[in-house]
Amino acid sequence: MPALETLRGLRVVASAESLDVAAWDEGAVVLRFAPDDAFAIGAINIDVSDEHAIVAEETGFVGMWLSVSELAEQVLPHIEWPLPDARPALCQGFIAGVPAKLWVTDDRALLICACSYADELAERLQ
Amino acid sequence: MNEFVERQLTLQWHEPKKSYDVVIIGGGGHGLATAYYLAARHGIKNVAVLEAGYIGSGNSGRNTTIIRANYGIPEAIRFYQHSLDLYQTLEDELSCWVMYSTKGIIWLAHTETQMRAERARCLLNVACGAETVMVTPQEAKELCPQLDLSGGGRYPVMGASYHPAAATARHDRVVWAYAQGAMRHGVHVLQHRTVTGLLRDGVRVSGVETSAGPISAGVVLSAVGGNVSTIAAHADVRLPIRTHPLQAFVTNAHEQGFGPILSDTELLCYVSQSARGEMVIGAEYDPQPSYSLRSSFNFLQSCASKVTHLLPFLRDLRILRQWAGICDISADFSPIMGATGVDGFLVTTGWGTWGFKAIPAGGEQMAELIATGRTPELVERFGLDRFAADRAMADQGSAGTH
Amino acid sequence: MLWITCPRCGRRPVEEFGFGGELRGVPERITDPAERDVDYAWMYDNVHGITSERWFHRAGCRRWLTLSRDTVTDTVTG
């Protein structure tokens, strides 16, 4: 399995309406942690209309890209809840008992957790 | 014939009367001990104890029987030390073997913060008359040779406090001993009699409504566990109590030789060995309030994971039983004893996860309070009025688990 | 085991959540302002039955939600 590496991007906390229509950098993977909270992996710039928006460089998460088979064999056995049917989908909750997130697309998936849990998650997925 | 059936047959059961001087709701340790001391010490024998199930079927029969006095505030230490003293002479007082066994409790610390807290607790305990000393990891290992001082490589032990007087007793026997003592003095213990309401005479409480008709009383004392808010609501009394389940489990019998009680400030779990050789294991109460007695796999999993870090030999044992009780956890983690502001209605509650050790002193002090109409000095700070007076008795750190 | 449905993340085991307390109210019959303050600060309904309460999805979206739960059966009712 690949290793968990620091994910670089922008963390944006802003009104849900402004995030819905925000313009992100081409190629950025935008994860909506909550209606008013987004993490745009690979983004450098963002155009968001909310004047109270908080935009900060985010280095607090680690992640690893997985193939569909790696996801099925190495991660899904550690998840107690069902994955949604829609793709792409952001799933958040315990993975192997550690607070983590999973960005699932048709052909691959990104496993994410806070960097402080990285070693714990990696150990538990072994 | 098992011990329980035998005891039920040999106790002197009475036909209920229509009226008593004192009616106690709840036939657990606290209710029965109060009845016993009322009759034996104060000559108040026209007393009934009403129990919805069988005696000791609530938290008295579900706790992990740890008796200790190493609490975190002076009033609590003095009170629990007095209870411990009463426990030590209980077998003589009640002419009944309750399997009291002094074991000592080791309270492990893993960080400098926890060490400071334990050192402070030692000083306070000693000042208030409950012997507690700091021990090094090596001394802890001598007291408990099965202990892994590295904590499974994850929770290295930095030191511990040791309270040598800590003990266990057999819970059912304590309940039966008080029931027998009370009944011998003429107290009526009425089993399978559920209290469904309180009789009111104007504002005052004048008795109880039960599943088998009303019973009038001069004084009604609620000594129930988890369901106290429901009883108090019948008298419009509001309590700073939330009912949380507390779970525990035992393993199959292991060779005798696990001497002390082991407790942990970081992991909030504790382990002792019963007289039958079973390892008795418990931890924190469930975070959300509930009246459900269901056990959960999550508790078993997380608690087993914690204790096997400290005691690797537990991994080879099997789990025999798991159970839950519902605990009346007070807002400041101290008991609430005495007047409620409604005439004729008293409570002894807020015993949370820590009530078993308090049975003798709780019963003795409540009996004195009822008999004399005055709050004894030992428990005067534990009144319900402390919340309105902004004198809460915060003691979570030492009361939260057992 | 108790499962909670988070409106953003879906159905999850209770361990992912933090209990934030029941929605509290002071009974109407308490009229004295000082008594109402004491009740608000300290007293609990400790409902035996269905209660409304706040939960925090700690391991998921990290947002609050309100739900109804039956404290007798420990099941979520809405």
**For B23-61, what is each residue's pLDDT tens digit?**
999 999 999 999 999 999 999 999 999 999 999 999 999
Residue that the structure tokens 């303050």 belong to:
C37
Q: Using alpha carbons only, what angle is made at residue A78 by residues A72 and A81, rounded to the nearest 5 degrees?
A: 90
Asked if residue B400 has pLDDT above 70, the reply is no
pLDDT band at B4, cuts 50/70/90? confident
| pLDDT for residue C78 | 83
Q: Contact at 8 Å (CB) between B99 and B163? A: no
Of B284, B287, B258, nearest to B271 by C-alpha is B258
**Secondary structure of residue C58 in the 3-state scheme:** coil
pLDDT band at B5, cuts 50/70/90? confident
pLDDT in tens, B187-242: 999 999 999 999 999 999 999 999 999 999 999 999 999 999 999 999 999 999 99
Q: What is the mean pLDDT of residues B114-136?
A: 97
Tell me how far apart the alpha carbons of residues B31 and B193 are, in angstroms, rounded to a whole number.
Answer: 14
Tell me how far apart the alpha carbons of residues B277 and B128 are, in angstroms, rounded to a whole number.
Answer: 34
When scoring C2, C15, C16 by the number of chain A Cβ atoms within 10 A, the one with the most, hence best to mutate, is C16
| Burial tier of B240 (Cβ tally within 10 Å: 0-12, 13-18, 19+) | buried
Strands annotated E in chain C: 3-6, 10-13, 18-22, 50-56, 64-70, 75-76
Q: In angstroms, how far is the first alpha carbon of chain C from the final one?
A: 16
Tell me how far apart the alpha carbons of residues B299 and B313 are, in angstroms, rounded to a whole number.
Answer: 20
All domains in chain B, ordered by first residue: 102-166+242-330 (3.30.9.10)
Test B238 with C35 for CB contact under 8 angstroms.
no
Amino acid at A39: F
DSSP B375: -
Residue-by-residue pLDDT tens, chain A, 126 positions: 778 999 999 999 999 999 999 999 999 999 999 999 999 999 999 999 999 999 999 999 999 999 999 999 999 999 999 999 999 999 999 999 999 999 999 999 999 999 999 999 999 998
pLDDT in tens, A93-112: 999 999 999 999 999 999 99
pLDDT band at B1, cuts 50/70/90? low
Distances (CA, A) of B159 to B118, B135, B155, B162, B322: 9, 6, 12, 10, 30
Residues of chain A in contact with residue C61, where contact means CB-CB under 8 angstroms, are 33-34, 37, 92
With helix as H, strand as E and coil as C, how does B184-238 read? HCCCEEECCCCEEEEEEECCEEEEEEECCEEEEEEEEEECCCCCHHHHHHCCCCC
Asked if residue C9 has pLDDT above 70, the reply is yes
Of B182, B176, B178, nearest to B48 by C-alpha is B182
Report which of residues B5 and B117 the model is more confident about.
Answer: B117
Sorted by sequence, the CB contacts under 8 Å of residue A10 that are 6+ apart come out as A39, A40, A43, A44, A46, A55, A56, A57, A58
| pLDDT for residue A107 | 95
Amino acid at C26: V
Any CB–CB contact under 8 A between C7 and chain A? no
**Secondary structure of residue B321 in the 3-state scheme:** strand
Q: In angstroms, how far is the first alpha carbon of chain B from the final one?
A: 32
Q: What is the mean pLDDT of residues B343-352?
A: 97
Test B287 with C18 for CB contact under 8 angstroms.
yes
Cα B154 to chain centroid distance, Å, stands at 32
Tell me how far apart the alpha carbons of residues B292 and B295 are, in angstroms, rounded to a whole number.
Answer: 9
pLDDT in tens, B300-347: 999 999 999 999 999 999 999 999 999 999 999 999 999 999 999 999
* C-alpha torsion sign, points A44, A45, A46, A52: positive
The ipTM assigned to this model is 0.95
pLDDT in tens, C18-49: 999 999 899 999 999 999 999 999 999 999 99
Q: Contact at 8 Å (CB) between B168 and B102? A: no
| pLDDT for residue B145 | 97
When scoring B291, B330, B342, B390 by the number of chain C Cβ atoms within 10 A, the one with the most, hence best to mutate, is B291
Q: Which residue of C has its CA nearest to A98?
A: C59
One DSSP character per residue, B126-163 reads HHTT---EEE-HHHHHHH-TT--TTTTTTS---EEEEE
Mean pLDDT of all residues belonging to chain C: 94
Asked if residue B7 has pLDDT above 90, the reply is no
Asked if residue B127 has pLDDT above 90, the reply is yes
Q: Contact at 8 Å (CB) between B348 and B328? A: no
Asked if residue C62 has pLDDT above 80, the reply is yes
Mean pLDDT of all residues belonging to chain B: 95
Test C60 with A82 for CB contact under 8 angstroms.
no
Q: Which residue of C has its CA nearest to A38?
A: C61
Test C46 with B289 for CB contact under 8 angstroms.
yes
All domains in chain C, ordered by first residue: 3-76 (3.30.2270.10)
Q: Contact at 8 Å (CB) between B20 and B188? A: yes
Q: Contact at 8 Å (CB) between B217 and B23? A: yes
Asked if residue B2 has pLDDT above 90, the reply is no
Tell me how far apart the alpha carbons of residues B67 and B281 are, in angstroms, rounded to a whole number.
Answer: 15
